[in-house]
Amino acid sequence: MKNETLSLLGTTALVQTPFVKISIGKYTFGYYNKSSASGVDARGAYTLNKITYPNYIQDLKVKKVNGVVNQYTLKMVYAITENNDPNFFEKVFSSVSKTRKIIFSYGDLSTPSFCYKDEEAIITDVKNNFSMSSSTITYTISAVSTGKLSGVGSYAFPGKLAKPSDEIKRILYDSRYGLLEVFYGMRDRNLVEFEGLIASNDKVVNIASKTNISVLDYLTYLVSCMTSDVNQSTIKKSIYSFVVVDEISDKFRGPYFKVVELKKSLPDAYSTAYSLDIGYPSQNVVTQFNIENDESYSLYYNYSKELSDSNYVQRINDAGEIEEVFAPTIASGNAFRVTTEADKSWWTRVTQYPIKASVTFKGLLRPAILMTHVKLNVLFYGRKHISSGIYVVTEQTDSIGFDGFKTTLKLLRIDKEELE
């Protein structure tokens, strides 16, 4: 690894004065912090940009996890006076009863011309909590990616010998499944190919048949079948991840998904990954760091090297003939007693990418999009702990509220760090 890293907590990464704006139909609400560490007055920034949204927002949490749709939790407090309509928010929610769409916009008022993100979601639930003593109604709004709509309906997909990435593209642009109505940021096929949204360096594999399954779940299954290896080893050199992106303000102008390859050995191109020091000098910013494995990750390394892959079983195929099938005991615990590509993906995750960590720090990040690489330096009195290394962001939770602003990242280690 080269030392050409950019600090994740540097001024180019951290949001100085976070704000959030919510749009529900024709109604828009905003939130600002009255002061900031950077000395920029957020109220003044709002005035400068003629932002005059009513401010009922108390808290927003945005949770993004690779492999599933994103989740949003918004808390709004409506104080009622003798001049206020107690049914105001009922009118707001009823205005989107057909589409249920909500747009979250959040960014940095220290750089008012820079918009962080506009993300589109679907409201799934609204809970009311009444306080008669303070004459307030607290609304807790839950929302998910619009991609959740692709989880509606069940289909049957036949088994075949094919590249999973080819199948993903075929299903995406097949109007019968309606994916482009949900992920409308992918309608320009040339742009999707140019930006490499769907990794296509995988090999032809046996894809099992699936019945009574949603399109979204089938896409996730196809990704688990992807492999760039040509041999039959249970241990893969890389794994693939499915990422949902809700942003409607970037070049795609709509929600889309990505299929990203994670390699065990990183090329020089990853030498510019963000760096993050746990310990001095970040101790005043990083508030929490945890290793989240239930078992000691140190157990896996030598064990995975001792695994024997040369296990075959005899079975009768559909033609009534006896055939030998590669099915090592460690990864063939399914009804057919064979090892599928999805089984290999699971075993690789367990043995080759064992360290999972989480880190929480003050402030919000500008897009630390899922699958971004981070070089983590875990320091004790200047010496590195074994948990140091190259990680990839698998989950990001942004929290914006009166109790402060913070980001929590969940990380998966994909390459070790040489200890000094």
> What would the pLDDT profile of 77-116 be if each residue is shown by its tens digit?
998 888 888 899 999 999 998 899 999 887 766 655 555 6
Beta strands in 184-255 (DSSP E): 205-207, 210-213, 238-245
Give the pLDDT confidence score for residue 320 in this predicted structure.
Answer: 65
Burial grade of 191 (CB within 10 A; 0-12, 13-18, 19 or more)? middle
pLDDT, tens digit, for every residue of 2-40?
445 567 766 555 666 667 889 999 998 886 544 444 444
Name the burial class of residue 317, with classes exposed (0-12), middle (13-18) and buried (19+) by CB atoms within 10 angstroms of its CB.
Answer: exposed
Kindly state the DSSP code that residue 267 receives in the 8-state scheme: P
CA dist 31 and 42 (Å) reads 10
Roughly what angle, to the nearest 10 degrees, separates helices 341-352 and 215-225?
70
Alpha carbons 390 and 376: distance in angstroms, whole number: 6
Portion of the chain with pLDDT greater than 90, in percent: 22
| pLDDT number for residue 369 | 67
Residue type, 26: K
CB 410 within 8 A of CB 292: yes
Q: Supply the pLDDT for residue 43.
A: 44
pLDDT tens digits, 372-397: 788 888 888 778 887 888 888 888 88
Mean pLDDT along residues 45-71: 73
Query: Which distant-in-sequence residues (6+ apart) come within 8 Å of 98 by Cβ?
Result: none
Give the residue among 66, 150, 57 at the shortest CA–CA distance from 104.
57
Main-chain phi, psi angles of 280, to 5 degrees:
-60, 135
Can you give the pLDDT at residue 143? 94
Alpha carbons 121 and 142: distance in angstroms, whole number: 10
pLDDT for res 24 = 93
pLDDT digits (tens, 9 = 90+) for 282-319: 767 788 888 877 555 555 555 555 555 556 555 566 66
Tokens of 385: 């702990």
List the one residue out of 119, 208, 217 whose CA is nearest residue 171: 217
More confident call, 264 vs 132: 132
Taking the CB of residue 359, how many other CB atoms lie within 10 A of it?
22
pLDDT surpasses 70 at 212: yes
List of domains in the chain: 15-146 (2.40.30), 149-263 (no CATH), 273-293+354-416 (2.30.300.10), 301-351 (no CATH)
pLDDT at 144: 92
pLDDT tens, residue by residue, 166-197:
999 999 999 989 899 889 999 999 999 999 99
**DSSP sequence for 75-117:** EEEEE--TTS-TTHHHHHHHTTTTT-EEEEEEEETTSTT---E
How high is the pLDDT of residue 94? 93
pLDDT at 382: 75
pLDDT band at 269 (very low <50, low <70, confident <90, very high): very low
Q: Would you say residue 359 has pLDDT above 50? A: yes
The mean pLDDT value of the chain amounts to 77
Count CA within 13 A, CB hemisphere, residue 116. 27
- Evaluate if residue 262 carries a pLDDT over 90: no
Packed helices 215-225 and 164-172: angle between N→C axes, nearest 10 degrees: 160
Percent of the chain exceeding pLDDT 70 equals 66
Q: Mean pLDDT across the stretch 132-142?
A: 92
The predicted pLDDT at position 129 comes to 93
pLDDT at residue 215 above 60? yes
Q: What does the alpha-carbon distance between residue 22 and residue 8 come to, in Å, rounded to a whole number?
A: 27
Q: What's CA 5's distance to the chain center, in Å?
A: 23
Burial bucket for residue 299 (CB in 10 Å: 0-12, 13-18, 19+): exposed
